[in-house]
Amino acid sequence: MKNTLIGFVSIVVLVGGVVWFASSKQLNTATVSSQEKVAVNAPAPPASFNDISGATENLSDFKGKKVMLWLVATWCSSCSEGARVLSQNKNKLGDLTILVLKTYGNAGYPGPSIKEFVSQSAPAVLLSKNWHLGNLTKQSTQVYNPRNYPDIYFLIDKSGVIREVNDAPAATISDILTFAQN
């Protein structure tokens, strides 16, 4: 009986580990349909957002620039810390364009507007020409954030290729700085 229980627990732990490992790798590749795929070292799919003035902008508008496409939930504490750390490193980020976009539906919970979020977390960047704030459209959220993560970013090179997918900019600032400076 004891060996059966130990065997059962071992299987549960093994299956749980496999499920965790598989889900953790979802940040590197997310398939939405057979035509749209977000993956490292692949071209960034089209995306659109409404900036804080209400105008529609497209990710393609920033081709030729290094871009950090950062999807946030405005209630998210790691997002708030990420904004603060990015703001503190503003001078080291060079000409990196940072698109801070509230994910459609705000990852399932209410929260402040994207402008209020940045005003509270990193007010100095409101006047920065490299920072763009907005709300990601539902369709673009389905492509870039189908699992509704509250804090996920994509580093996109000048040719429009995704070079990194990660989360928590405060914890991964060295990766972001390396990308910005190279």
d(CA 28, CA 30): 7
Query: How confident is the model over 10-26, as a mean pLDDT?
Result: 36
Angle separating helix axes 173-181 and 77-88, nearest 10 degrees? 40
Reported as half-sphere exposure (CB side, CA atoms, 13 A), residue 113 has a value of 10
Cα dihedral across residues 36, 33, 26, 144: positive or negative: positive
Q: At what angle do helices 77-88 and 114-121 cross, to 10 degrees?
A: 60
**pLDDT on residue 1:** 53
Euclidean distance between CA atoms 149 and 29, whole angstroms: 14
Q: What is the CATH number of domain 32-181?
A: 3.40.30.10
Pinpoint the alpha helices (H) of the chain. Answer: 2-24, 77-88, 114-121, 138-144, 173-181
pLDDT-based confidence at residue 179 (cuts at 50, 70, 90): very high
pLDDT at residue 13 in the model: 35
Q: How many Å separate Cα 72 from the centre of its chain? A: 7
What average pLDDT does the segment 149-156 reach?
96
Query: Given pLDDT bands bounded at 50, 70 and 90, which one contains residue 36?
Result: low
Express each pLDDT in 56-113 by its tens digit: 999 999 999 999 999 999 999 999 999 999 999 999 999 999 999 999 999 999 999 9
Q: Any idea what DSSP says for residue 85?
A: H
Domain-by-domain residue ranges, the chain?
1-31, 32-181
